[in-house]
Amino acid sequence: MTAAGVDSSEPVIGLRDVTRRFGAKVALDRVSLSVPRGVVFGLVGANGAGKTTLIRHVLGLLKAQTGSVRVFGANPVADPAGVLARIGYLSEENDLPGWMRVPEFVRYSRAFYPRWDDGYAEELRHTFELPAGTRICNLSKGQRARVGLLVALAHRPELLVLDEPSSGLDPLVRRDILEAVIRTIADEGRTVLFSSHLLDEVERVSDHVCLLNQGRIVFSAPLDELKESHRSLTVRFDAPQARPPALAGALAWKGTGHEWTAVCRGRLSDLAPAVAASGGRVVADRTPSLDEIFLAQVTGSKVPVLEG
């Protein structure tokens, strides 16, 4: 326990066996995960994977049909005011009242948060270069995303939840603003949960990555661990091969003839003997990007074998 009575070992978010159906569609399928305090937790997955549905459970906007959700140790559906006051949230849709000007919207929003910091809100307005006199409906999509981010941040939340925060932001703004914001929050010991399609962005800022596919967790692990436990291997054979070798741990192959490359689960020391047994030799070995791991994990054997 800290002096403030916060148990720092207790996860900020805990989901246990959460299943959510919309009619016949299973949006979340027995999802269990734990988000420790002070980490940047990146949630990745293709369209429809269940990311927003998971975030809505964390915010208490959806009630778990089975299983349990705990945020700061509380049930967000039973105690929405207590939980939401500690969360900053930027939604994918980023619905804002178009008729208000930024300072009006800031005044309106501050009423919901006892810990709102006026000085910080004004500092963010300057950093984000948001004009005071323009109605929100006349701002660009990127500027509106920055207004949403300002309001999510200005009460210095313990947990920042960002659902696809990059939509509408150009690459410069993403790198300079969003990533700086995410790192600052984490450096201050607060927690960030964010979902994104942009795997290079997730890779740059996340401590922990969770991949959802069709409502199920494919993996959830510290980024370092995830990268250390995968290799991209290029294997060469003396005689041309019609098919890639049967290598335990290989998730997806591409190549042709003498040379084949695979993203593999495992370490080189475990994989090399199996490559040798298949008659090949490893000619290149590197750490794959998160994007490559994601594609290999999600599409796996469905990745077409390129015939050359």
Ligand X SMILES: Nc1ncnc2c1ncn2[C@@H]1O[C@H](COP(=O)(O)OP(=O)(O)OP(=O)(O)O)[C@@H](O)[C@H]1O
Q: How far apart are CA 176 and CA 187, in angstroms?
A: 16
Closer by beta carbon to ligand X, 77 or else 282 = 77
Phi-psi region of 107 (alpha: psi -120 to 50; beta: other; left: phi over 0): alpha
Q: How would you classify the pairing of strands 159-163 and 87-90?
A: parallel
Q: List own/partner pairs for 128-137 with CB under 8 A and 24 or more apart.
A: 128/177, 130/102, 131/102, 132/101, 132/102, 132/103, 133/101, 134/101, 134/102, 135/98, 135/99, 135/100, 135/101, 136/96, 136/97, 136/98, 136/99, 136/100, 136/101, 136/102, 136/105, 137/98, 137/99
Q: Binding of ligand X at residue 266 (CB under 6 A)?
A: no
> Closest approach of Cβ 178 to ligand X, in Å?
17
Q: Total number of residues binding ligand X (CB under 6 A)?
A: 12
With a CB cutoff of 8 Å and minimum separation 6, the contacts of 85 are 112, 113, 114, 115, 155
Considering only the stretches 43-51, 81-89, 142-150, 277-285, report the one whose residues sit in contact with ligand X under the rule CB under 6 A. Answer: 43-51
Q: Binding of ligand X at residue 49 (CB under 6 A)?
A: yes
| 17, 25, 78, 267: which one binds ligand X (CB under 6 A) | 25
| 50, 148, 157, 244: which one binds ligand X (CB under 6 A) | 50
Closer by beta carbon to ligand X, 52 or else 261 = 52
> Closest approach of Cβ 73 to ligand X, in Å?
25
Q: How far apart are CA 32 and CA 9, in angstroms?
A: 18
Considering only the stretches 20-28, 34-42, 101-109, 233-241, report the one whose residues sit in contact with ligand X under the rule CB under 6 A. Answer: 20-28
Q: Binding of ligand X at residue 220 (CB under 6 A)?
A: no
Is 101 in a helix, a strand, or coil? Answer: strand
> Closest approach of Cβ 27 to ligand X, in Å?
3
Q: Binding of ligand X at residue 57 (CB under 6 A)?
A: no
Q: Binding of ligand X at residue 63 (CB under 6 A)?
A: no
Q: How far apart are CA 110 and CA 242, in angstroms?
A: 65
Q: Binding of ligand X at residue 48 (CB under 6 A)?
A: yes
Q: Residue 160 is encoded by which pair of tokens?
A: 């920042």
> Closest approach of Cβ 43 to ligand X, in Å?
8
Give the contact letters, 71-110, x = binds to ligand X (CB under 6 A), - = no. ---------------------x------------------
> Closest approach of Cβ 212 to ligand X, in Å?
7
Residues contributing to the site for ligand X (CB under 6 A): 22, 25, 27, 45, 47-53, 92
